[in-house]
Amino acid sequence: MNQQRRGFTLIELLVVIAIIALLMGILMPALQRVKKQAQGATCLSNLRQIGVAASLYAQDYDWFIPRGSTGSNPIWFMQYLPYVGQEHNKGDYKSVKIYRCKSFPTTGFGLNNISNSRQTVCYVLNDWTFSSRDDDTGTSVGKPTKLSVFKRPAKTVYMADNEDGDWRPIIENENSPEIIRCDIFIRTHLPDSESHHINDGRRVARARHAKGCNALFLDWHSEYVEAEDMTIDMWRDK
């Protein structure tokens, strides 16, 4: 007796497709969360490795570290090349993976309508100095600083995630004149600022990772900091 082959009916196929679509709808947000968490962990690891490079640099340069990026001052990501496996001024800093945060958006545009995908500087640097603990304004340092100046290294940020936005510069190489806009030295550069001004606007990322950013501290540990918890005191050198 011959048995007749029975294929899937159209309704059965539609049910299977609907189930797959439902499962994808449930799983995709979870996968996205896992991906973002992994990117955040990688960023923290990057900052820790930059901290190791900074510590080694300080030992070789009488305990000074780069701060401001103005004029002839040394730019941190160029100065640290020998400590991340490349020769100074012979290697391409853009090939150093730990200098890049994978969560920095590749879509959108920065200053002068340059695509975010061309950003090579994903971290901003502490260039803030204060006359005293009562000084709530401070000013730009603009030169290398000796580590002994920092009285609370474990609580003082050295660098943090760079904000993206149409008011923020895209740094394509070490000769970019916009590098000076990757230094932190006024209140409105912090993540709770609403200013999008080219010079005075927010420079520390408000929501690069969840509701805050990753930061490297001057005892060379890195940690996540929520935007609402970041204060001027976390940037003080005194």
Residue 61 has pLDDT above 70, yes or no: yes
Q: Is residue 110 one of the residues assigned to a domain? A: yes
Structure tokens at 54: 């900074």
* Residues 10-19: tens digit of each pLDDT: 777 787 888 8
Q: Is residue 70 one of the residues assigned to a domain? A: yes
Average pLDDT over residues 221-238: 95
Confidence bin at 68 (pLDDT 50/70/90): confident
Q: Residue 32: give the domain boundaries.
A: 12-235
Q: What is the number of domains present in the chain?
A: 1
Q: Is residue 2 one of the residues assigned to a domain? A: no
Confidence bin at 206 (pLDDT 50/70/90): very high
Q: Is residue 197 one of the residues assigned to a domain? A: yes
Residue 70 has pLDDT above 80, yes or no: no
Q: Are the C-beta atoms of 168 and 181 separated by less than 8 Å?
A: yes
- Which pLDDT belongs to residue 6? 62
* Residues 186-205: tens digit of each pLDDT: 999 999 999 999 999 999 99
pTM of the model: 0.85
Q: Is residue 6 one of the residues assigned to a domain? A: no
Q: How far apart are the C-alpha atoms of 112 and 24, rounded to whole Å? A: 39
- Which pLDDT belongs to residue 125? 97
Residue 217 has pLDDT above 80, yes or no: yes
Q: Is residue 190 one of the residues assigned to a domain? A: yes
Average pLDDT over residues 139-164: 96
Q: Is residue 7 one of the residues assigned to a domain? A: no
What is the average pLDDT score of the chain?
90
Q: How far apart are the C-alpha atoms of 99 and 91, rounded to whole Å? A: 14
Q: Is residue 148 one of the residues assigned to a domain? A: yes
